[in-house]
Structure 1
């Protein structure tokens, strides 16, 4: 009897996995409603580390200086000369326990996938990513830039005009930190879904649902000029 239940359980997991991948392929192929940019007023990057896509934005451009929201004093190293800042949203517990991919454990993964974990924004100060093979240069117009900024602002826990709330999780190095964020990570709203939503807000054509990083980068490669 126990083996029969185990067989059914494994079969169910396989069906769930195939259904998830199938839904990702189908929904990514269906474009979201268009917010196409009409000019190239603001330049930024999407960078893929092989698992998730981060947004790399100029530290100070387009009327926004990110140092006001993410003060250099929050970072253990000297970030005053950084020209870009990368942003990536995800599950707090997973970030806290997985500084390296070899540190992945089942517990934090399960908590993240099933709405049992809060979220944070991972912020990294760094140099210009131009020419990096994993990064794609993007542009948007004034309206797209403002939508992108508004999307990022809405991701952070309410701050009432004050700097974002620095989370207690230590960074992975001297130039990164974590900040409290809104929303919960899940099987259906992954870090890449957040990135795709941000890119769509910025006028990039995205699929309806893109839980994998390669789906986002593939979409961006199809946009003329990217």
Structure 2
């Protein structure tokens, strides 16, 4: 009887997991198609920002400096490997710290890293990347926003960082993907329901731009900018 009960319990557990995964995938596909702020206008708006995707992860890209915010005073180019500081844009991408730092390539992904990220057991980090120019394409969408909307975006991004006792961003040294990027400590935890793309999508929602009602994927954002 104990063996039968064990097998029954195992079967119910597997069925429960499979049902959850099916429900999760269906929810992701359906809810991400629901648009918010779909009728927003970009007419007469002065500040250009970008949504940038690498095919999986999205960044929000902003001007390094304008009259509303000078990011170069906080995100220091000297903390990157590059010596060429002729850059105009700065990309922000929030995500799981363990995944960011320990998985530069998909082949480096460990089961423990994926598990911790999926269930909010790890801390988070902000990945910043400097760019000279932004080129619009299928994975890079330009948006024009107002000064008021941009100030909301600045606040949202700034409040995603974890600051030290002096209220400065905390650089994570000796980690980068290339010559013009750096990592910083961030607030919050990555989960199955709140991913890097959820963070980007919320940035768009807060600034009254077209976005998904909820999404965990980059396509859930980009589909509203076809």
TM-score bucket of the superposed structures, by smaller chain: 0.7 to 0.9
1:12 to partner: Cα distance: 2.3
Aligned counterpart, 1:28? 32
Match of 2:161 among 126, 138, 156: 156
Q: TM-score, normalised by structure 2?
A: 0.88
Aligned counterpart, 1:216? 221
1:22 to partner: Cα distance: 1.9
Aligned counterpart, 1:9? 13
**d(CA) in 2 for partners of 1:100, 1:212:** 18
2:179 matches 1:187? no
Deviation digits for residues 28-47 of structure 1 (CA, Å, limit 9, x no counterpart): 24444789466421101101
Unaligned runs of 5+ in 1: 222-226
**d(CA) in 1 for partners of 2:19, 2:160:** 33
Root mean square deviation of aligned Cα: 2.3
- Confirm or deny: 8 A CA contact 1:96 1:169 kept in the other structure: no
Unaligned runs of 5+ in 2: none
- Confirm or deny: 8 A CA contact 2:125 2:184 kept in the other structure: yes
1:124 to partner: Cα distance: 0.8
Match of 1:141 among 136, 143, 146: 146
Aligned counterpart, 1:131? 136
Secondary structure, aligned partner of 1:155: coil
1:90 to partner: Cα distance: 0.4
Deviation digits for residues 156-177 of structure 1 (CA, Å, limit 9, x no counterpart): 1135775411024611122111
Secondary structure, aligned partner of 2:151: helix
Deviation digits for residues 63-118 of structure 1 (CA, Å, limit 9, x no counterpart): 22211110112112225112211110001111111011221121101001111100
Q: TM-score, normalised by structure 1?
A: 0.88
After superposition, the Cα gap between the structure-2 partners of 1:188 and 1:35, relative to the gap in structure 1 and judged at 3 Å, is farther
Task: Mark the structure with the bigger radius of gyration.
Answer: 2
Match of 1:59 among 59, 64, 85: 64
